[in-house]
Structure 1
Amino acid sequence: MASNSITRFRSLTKPTRQTLIQSHRHFSSILNPDSTTPLTSKQKSRAALSLLKSEKNPERIIDICRAASLTPDTHLDRVAFSLAISKLTELNYYEGIRNFVDELFKTRPDLKTERFVSNAIVYFGQAGLLNDAHQLFDKMPQLGVGRNVRSLNALLFSCVAAKEYDEVKRVYLDFPGKYGVEMNVDSYNTVIKAFCESGSVSSCYSVTAEMVRKKCRPNATTFGLMIAGFYKEGKFDDVGRVLEMMKKHDVHIGIGTYNIRIQSLCKLKRTVEAKALLDGMQSRGMKPNAVTYSHLIHGFCREGKLNEAKELFKKTINGGFKPESECYFTLAHYLCKSGDFEAALDVCKKSMEKDWFPNFSTMKLLVEGLANGSKVDEAKEVIETMKNKFPNKVDVWNEVEEKLPK
């Protein structure tokens, strides 16, 4: 791998090599300003991701990406790229996104790959720059990269990310034939996702019929998307029809499918029905998982049924399940909003033991609620924990502490 990189580097023109060397020297200090010890690729990626989370200067966001020499080959780097694009989009720095991607193709020959081009097409869609996504797809041969189903899927997903659903339909109908690319199950699932998001879920029946004609077998994701879409549109009879289709196509109706149904009912504030679905599932010998309980806890919280939410949370923990951080944060937030600060404190402590800290607004609610309930010492203990964890927020927490009852 190293020898290949050296060969690619030597193949560049002298001015380009000098530019890369100067850029490396200029940007390397961004990621580890307090040390002269070189970072490994993984350390660079982690440092970049950490810096990107709080950076608001668009040029510095790009400099951080340059310093880390991100690639599409690791999950960490793809997350960092995606975060950078999201932040630049929020800052309306569209020309900067275009220039940065163009720069990468000019100065990073290692990125002239089908994988990175496909990722870049998605990034343009994520930024709402769909014309740029199309232009990049069109000029792939000029970059020495062939078009295939991965790049077609990237373009379809780019359209979904940009919420240009008519364009999804156009690409789906015209591009496979135009470019001689055969769609796969991921292609069809992206089209189905678009129909579901745009309120046209009934059109998915024709897509699945085409899949069958093309000998492309629908999978659990195909039907899961349709189930969620029909619930969203309130077409409950169609949910049953999709479940029958799953049986017909020999697709297992497992915990993932049940979790989609439970989450969909909870979003409709029909959490009691979702709980009944869980009970029926368990009576048939199927075991729930942490995701199942998290959906229900969130649903009960949104409906103000906090006793049920607390009971399920307790059952989740005692059952040996490991809820994700969002489950703790949601329950803590709603308990604070309802005035049950003792229960909220217990949830927050369990969360912080895992190094998961609810956001500032939730913790401020908790601290003020404890103090107003004559639990000033507990409130100050929480403040001290937050100061230690987030040194950059010490002044903000000092202000909160000063306003507490004495």
Structure 2
Amino acid sequence: MKRQVVYFFKCQPELLYKPPRLDSPKTPPKQKKGMSSLSRPLGRAFSTAATASSGTAKSLSYLIYKESNHKKLVKKFKNASVNEHFRTKVAIYKETIRRLSASRKFDYVEEILEDQKQYKDMSKEGFNARLISLYGSAGMFDHARKVFDEMRSRECARTVMSFNALLGACLSSKKFDEVEGLFRGLSKEIKIEPDLISYNTVMKAFCEMGSLDSAVSLLNEIKRKGLEPDLITFNTLLHGFYANGRFVDGERIWDLMKERNVEPNIRSYSAKLFGMASEKRMNDVVRVVEEMNSKGIKHDPFSYHALIRGFVNDDDFEQAKRWHGEMWKNGCKPHRLVFETLIPFAVEKGDLAFAFKLCKDVIHSKLVVQEALIQSVVDALANESRVAEAKELVDDGEAGRRAHSYKLKLPTPPCNA
């Protein structure tokens, strides 16, 4: 079987904002005389009501997380949205839209998000920005733009916050060639001054299109605007250059980052490892890993994937297996790309026991990989008369229906001549 090497390039989301710390006074303020008899029970009443409402929101979120039927999920979500505390639960909104869009239930995404427009929260820019981002995550940019345009009729301020949400929605919807036009045109139209997040979004779009020189040119514009490129700026460029085979340019960006006193993080090192692995610079890979260890930088699934992919490219099966084992030993759950890289390599090397184990891990971890990948292992096992193991994978794939089922088949035995 021909080995398929899986390429990985996706700039992972970073923490853009850090909420300010609100330090409480060391001692509570004294109550005014004459107020205690009234304020204490009243305070308890408000506190009890708030706690009950918050508790209700949590229970509603739990019910939605557990619901597997999409139609019932939408109904429960709309009913839960009546609770104002539920509407502050950003995570449940993201997860629900992710689940529906992954199943291509875009009509249900629209039903949920359009239903939100009846609430008073639509007067707040932050809530509108959330809906814009959610539509973007589902790839529904036209709907995201509609929410942004409607803000004016609701007399809701449109600042750089909602502007950036719209740029992000355009990027998430993979309309990479439209991001710069939106950035240039809309900022002038509604008189908004783009910030660093705006520029980072445009830069990411350029990198996704392979327009790396255009991405780098934004550094000069950022400087002219009096802004300073941050870690996200440099990581975007590093991923762009290293992943597109421009290793030397990636190294230049790395040096520039150091000149600007921007300390690389695990995302930066993952990109560098990926670039080195692509160039088969395995001695350099070992050196960078040692550097990471000396700095106390822990590997994540993507840096492990870069390492494993490098050893696969170098045809070093034992080292690829070793780093897969290190990943599990260090409590790091593998990304699906690790399996998509290792499974065909294991089959090619004839280690069907390892390939079988990898497939079991995929199914039990509820990861989604190409069905043909697992089917190839089923076929290889059956061809080696390891029918029991092949059937076990077929049964496990079918049993994974709640998360993702694999319609695997045992190969038909050849007829006797």
TM-score by length of 1: 0.70
Q: Aligned partners of 1:87, 1:391: CA distance in 2, in Å?
A: 12
CA contact under 8 A between 2:167 and 2:179: conserved in structure 1?
A: yes
Greater Cα shift, 239-248 or 336-345: 336-345
1:193 has 2:212 as partner: no
SS of 1:151's partner is: helix
The secondary structure found in structure 1 opposite 2:410 is helix
Q: Which has the higher helix share?
A: 1
Query: 2:285 touches 2:307 (CA, 8 Å); kept in 1?
Result: no
Q: Give the aligned partner of residue 62 of structure 2.
A: 43
1:99 and 1:68 map into 2 onto residues whose CA distance is: 14
Give the CA deviation at 1:100.
5.6
Separation in 1, partners of 2:143, 2:412:
52
| Aligned equivalent of 1:212 | 223
CA drift of 1:46 comes to 0.6
Counterparts of residues 197-276 of structure 1 (less than 5 Å):
197-266=208-277, 269-270=278-279, 272-273=280-281, 275-276=282-283
Is contact 1:148-1:181 (8 Å) kept? yes
Post-superposition shift, 1:41? 1.8
SS of the residue 2:229 aligns to: coil
Within 5 Å, which residues of 2 pair with 1:142-181? Answer: 142-181=153-192
Distance 1:391 1:243, change over 3 A: closer
Q: 1:299 to 1:372 in 2, by over 3 A?
A: same
> Does the C-alpha gap of structure 1 residues 164 and 241 become closer, same or farther in structure 2, counting only changes over 3 Å?
same
Distance in 2 between the 1:184 and 1:211 partners? Answer: 9
Q: State the alpha-carbon separation in 2 of the partners of residues 130 and 244 from structure 1.
A: 37
Amino acid corresponding to residue 346 of structure 1 in structure 2: K
**Preserved CA contact (<8 Å) 1:121 1:158:** yes
Deviations 1:296-329 (A, max 9, x none): 22454467654442233234445x3524252663
1:75 aligns with 2:94: no
The RMSD of aligned alpha carbons is: 4.2
Aligned to 2:78: 66
Instruction: Name the CA distance, whole Å, in 2 between partners of 1:241 and 1:400.
Output: 52
Residue 339 (structure 2) aligns with: 329
Question: After superposition, what is the alpha-carbon deviation per residue over 1:198-218, rounded to whole angstroms, capped at 9, x for unaligned?
Answer: 222222334223333434321
Determine the C-alpha separation between the residues in 1 that align with 2:354 and 2:130.
Answer: 44
What count of residue pairs does the alignment treat as equivalent? 358
Offset at residue 147 of structure 1 (A): 1.3
- 1:24 is aligned to none
Q: Aligned partner of 1:322: which letter? A: C
Residue in structure 2 matched with residue 373 of structure 1 by the alignment: 384
Tell me if structure 2 keeps the 8 A contact 1:220–1:252.
yes
Does the alignment pair 1:279 with 2:279? no
Q: Residue 129 of structure 1: CA displacement?
A: 4.9
Q: 1:2 to 1:226 in 2, by over 3 A?
A: farther
Change (3 A) 1:112 1:282: same
Determine the structure 2 residue equivalent to 1:17.
none
Mapped to 1, the partners of 2:268 and 2:380 lie a distance apart of 40
- Distance (whole Å) between structure 2 residues aligned to residue 403 and residue 67 of structure 1: 53
CA distance in 2, matches of 1:150, 1:45: 29
Runs of 5+ in structure 1 lacking a partner?
8-37, 53-58
1:40 is matched by which residue type in structure 2?
S
Distance 1:162 1:101, change over 3 A: same
**CA deviation digits over 1:248-306, x for unaligned, max 9?**
2210123321211222454xx43x22x33321224443456143222222454467654
Farther-moved stretch of structure 1 (152-161 vs 281-290): 281-290
For the residues of structure 1 that align with 2:331 and 2:162, how far apart are their CA atoms? 39
Q: Displacement of 1:119 after TM fit?
A: 2.8
Q: What does the per-residue CA deviation read over 1:33-53, in whole Å, with 9 as the maximum and x for residues that have no partner? A: xxxxx99222133134x444x
Structure 2 residue runs without a partner (length 5+)? 1-46
Question: What amino acid is the match of 1:262?
Answer: L
2:117 match: 105
TM-score of the superposed pair, with normalisation by structure 2:
0.69
8 A Cα contact 2:203 2:215, kept in partner: yes
Task: Return 65-74 or 247-256, whichever deviates more.
Answer: 65-74
What amino acid is the match of 1:224?
A: N
Change (3 A) 1:316 1:400: same
The verdict on how the C-alpha distance between 1:163 and 1:97 changes in structure 2, with shifts beyond 3 A counting, is: same
Q: 1:302 to 1:235 in 2, by over 3 A?
A: closer
**Whole-Å separation in 2 of the counterparts to 1:80 and 1:41:** 13
Residues 171/353 of structure 1: CA separation in 2 closer, same or farther (3 Å cut):
closer
> Following the alignment from structure 1 to structure 2, what is the Cα–Cα distance between the partners of residues 117 and 240?
40
| CA offset digits 1:8-39 (Å, max 9, x no partner) | xxxxxxxxxxxxxxxxxxxxxxxxxxxxxx99
Counterparts of 1:303 and 1:402 in 2: how far apart (Å)?
A: 36
